[in-house]
Structures are given as structure tokens and as C-alpha cells.
Amino acid sequence: MGLRAGQGVLRRKPIDHIEEPEGAASQQLTRALGLWQLTAIGVGGIIGAGIFTLAGTVANGKAGPAVLLSFLIAGIASAAAAFSYAEFAGLIPKAGSAYTYGYAVLGEFAGWFIGWDLLLEYTAIVAVVAIGISGYFGFLLGEAGLDLPVWMLGAPGTGPGHRVDLFAAVLCLLIAYLLTLGIKNAARFETIVVGLKVLVVVVVIAVGFFHINSANYTPFFPFGVSGAFTGAATVFFAVFGYDAMSTAAEESKDAQRHMPKAIMYSLAISMVLYVLACLVLTGMQNYKDIDPESGFSTAFKSVGLSALADVIAVGAIIGILTVMFTFMLGVTRVWFSMSRDGLLPKWFAKTSPKHHVPTRVTWIVGFASALIAGFLPIGEAAELTNIGILLAFVVVCVAVIVLRYKRPDLPRTFRTPGMPFVPAIGVCFSLWLITFLEWQTWVRFAVWFVIGLVIYFSYSYKRSELAKSEAAAPEPGERG
């Protein structure tokens, strides 16, 4: 008995039974996350380099004071995709996010394609963020008069005598260790750290508000209106993170109600803070004088608040640390879900008997991200990111349209408004941003995709759980 005709790469996970437990007891996750813990994970993934680095970079060289419009435009585009994620999160409360949604609606190959790509993208994001934190950490140590050995300060090629970015590599392993302690303990830590990060941002906004010079807002469009849109393409990568958070749906206490709310809450909170922070930054300093790398630190120094500048540096480290947590959580849950579905070896889907988390894949991701962070310059590591997440947005937005019209009967706790126009905006904006990517990114993506094709057709195609079910079922005409 072989696979039935017409199935194969287009076979889909049955949505009608999506709430039923999958896999053996050793492949189960624990539902322990409440609404605000999920929201904290989402905020932790969204707010990071966007406020502490990108805001100054875009204000100085692309948009001027209109950087706040750049964030608003990017936020609107991201919201179009967020609505689609929210509908799926309430409808399919399973680990895997875009991978699982694509598998259930567009078929096995579409799910594999997105899942395989996110494994690389999310791991690379963890590494890139670790390198960024390492830079801030080195700055603070320098301010304190502590000199570390040169060999451990950066990846080969980033400076004289540099052999490894040791701090970045160790940080990846520490985040992996944290995630192996169980989702409840890890989420508690994330919630506390996100709270500290938001507090720092609120303090920055509140104090900076009293040092705004309205003359700095003129001209508002020094690079033209197009500059605000160009800036939006840059800061778009600072307004997602809810996609990685949605991979934890299977660990939510009431995913169908809480996941859609957490996605929308995390994006709304982050956008309010982004816009207010940009308003303060461009009001404190003329856009020409804003430091592209440490905008807020230099802005506060310029008004005589140097002590607060050090607090901002600490806040930047805390803020970016939570991004690492969210995306490492995301990649481990995608990998776990793909393995439980049989698309990758089941060995990876085994969870810890004590903490009920996928410890094996967590440590593998921890070491992989540590190697990337330790031995690749940040530019090369960053080139491994972006395209997969944008393609995931495209898949999710297309899938939500397809499913709404194919299965309007399904019970939805959240419905994407403006169907099909809102998700169509998400598709168009994501495709537009893809055109901004460098050709080297496309080459790396193509190589990774080809490797994935080999694995899928040589292993996954015949070993997935759906393939086994089809092979075990009688062919038409064999019944009776």
C-alpha cells in the first residue's frame, strides 16, 4: 500500500482535531503560561534594538524627526500580519506558529518550507542579538576601567587579535540553560526582565520629555516623505516578535482566548513606547546630531544627564536580552513541532521528564547560536536573518484568507478584520521588504533551501505522521 494519489506534499494536518494531544507522553508540553506572561514574551521579542539602536540610526540618516512615522508605518504593516497570527493562534493553539498554520492550511511542503527556514532565521537572530549585547557589555566594562583580554572581545576579523566573542557565546548557552528549567520558571524570569526594560524606557521618555526643544522637529521631513517609508523598511524588523511568541501556544493555559489577546497587546504596547521614544529622541537633539549607534545615550549627555546615559546602556542590555529569550523559545518550539510531526527525527521531540520542555533541541540551538555568535562578525550573522520571517508572514497571511473562505464554519475566538484586504496588506508589505534584501541573503537562503529539499524528499516525505497514516489506510477498492 503506497501513498494515495493526490496527497503527498499537499497533505494537511486536520484542523478539526487540532486540540487533541499529539505524540506520546514524552512529547507533551505543559500548559503554564497566562495572558500577561505571554504578553511579556511578546513585548520581550519586539522591544530591543528598535528603541536603543535603530531609532537613532533611522532618525540620523533616513527620516529625521519623521522616524516616528517610520515606526507607525511599519507598525501598521506588522499589524496586518499580527491580525492573521492572532486568528490562527486562537484557532490552532499548537506549538510551531507559522509552520503549523502553513501545514494545516497549505499543505505539508509549505509547512516544511517555512519551518525549515525559521530554524535558521531564529537561531541567527539569537546570535546577532548576543553579539549586540556583547558590544554594550564591553562598553560598560570600559567605562568602569576594566580591560579584558583582546582575544575574547570579538569574532575573527572584527579587530586586531580577536579570536572569539566569548561573552556572546556564553550568553547563548545561558539562555539555553534558562529555557531547560521549564517554561514556568523561564517565563517568570522573562516577565521580570521585561518589566525592568519597560520601566527603563518609561523613565527615558518621562525624563526626556522635559528636555524637548520643539525647534528640533523642524524640518519634519528633511529627507522627504519617502524618507519615512525608507525608514519603515529598516525598522520593520523591530516590530515583530509576536510571531516567535505564538510558537508557545501549546504552553498557554487558555491559548484560544489568551494568544490572540497577547499578540495584539504586545504589539500595541510596543508601538506606543516606540512612538513616544522617537518623539523624545528627535525633540532632545537635532536629527543631524543624533548618534546612529547610541542615540539616547548621546542625547541625554547633550542635556547634562550623563548618569542617565549609563542607565540607558544597562537598559539596552536588559532589553536586548529578552529578544534572545523569545527567539530561542521560538526556534526550539518550531523544531520540536516538526520532529513530533515526523518531518525530522522523533529523537528531537522528546521532552524532559521533570520540566516537560524539549531539552535536546534547546541545547542544540544554544550551541549552534553560540558558535555563530562567537565566530561570525555581526554583519555576516545578520545576513542569515530576515527573509524567512518575511516569507512566514506571507504564508500566514495567505493561509488565513484561504481558510476563511474554505472553512468559514470553524469556531474562531478572533477574526481578522477587513478580510481579505488586511492580510493582503501584510502580504504586499512583506514582499516589498524582501526586495530590499542583499543578493548574498538570497544565496544563503537558496543554499539552506536546497539542503532542506534534500532532507524533505529523502526523509520527511515518507516518515511524517501523515505519511504513515496514509500508508496504513486501505487504498480505494480495498475496503470490504
Longest dimension (CA), the chain: 86
Q: What is the CATH classification number for the domain harbouring 166?
A: 1.20.1740.10
Which pLDDT score is estimated for 250? Answer: 86
Which pLDDT score is estimated for 432? Answer: 84
Which pLDDT score is estimated for 94? Answer: 84
CB 110 within 8 A of CB 395: yes
- 343 occurs within a structural domain: no
**Confidence (pTM):** 0.86
Which pLDDT score is estimated for 7? Answer: 60
CB 281 within 8 A of CB 296: yes
- 226 occurs within a structural domain: yes
Which pLDDT score is estimated for 136? Answer: 67
Domain span including residue 269: 36-337+372-463
Q: List average pLDDT for each run of 10 residues in the chain, which is 480 residues long.
A: 53 72 64 89 82 80 90 87 91 87 91 92 87 72 74 77 87 94 89 89 90 92 89 78 86 88 92 92 90 75 78 75 90 94 93 90 96 81 71 90 91 90 91 79 88 94 86 57
- 402 occurs within a structural domain: yes
Which pLDDT score is estimated for 238? Answer: 76
CB 296 within 8 A of CB 304: no
- 3 occurs within a structural domain: no
- 291 occurs within a structural domain: yes
In 3-state terms, what secondary structure has residue 185? helix
How many domains does the chain contain in total?
1
**Residue 288 burial (10 A CB sphere; 0-12, 13-18, 19+):** exposed
- 345 occurs within a structural domain: no
Measured distance CA(266)–CA(42) in Å, rounded: 5
- 59 occurs within a structural domain: yes
SS (H, E, C) 324-374: HHHHHHHHHHHHHHHHHCCCCCHHHHCCCCCCCCCHHHHHHHHHHHHHHHH
- 44 occurs within a structural domain: yes
Measured distance CA(365)–CA(371) in Å, rounded: 10
Which pLDDT score is estimated for 337? Answer: 93
DSSP 377: -
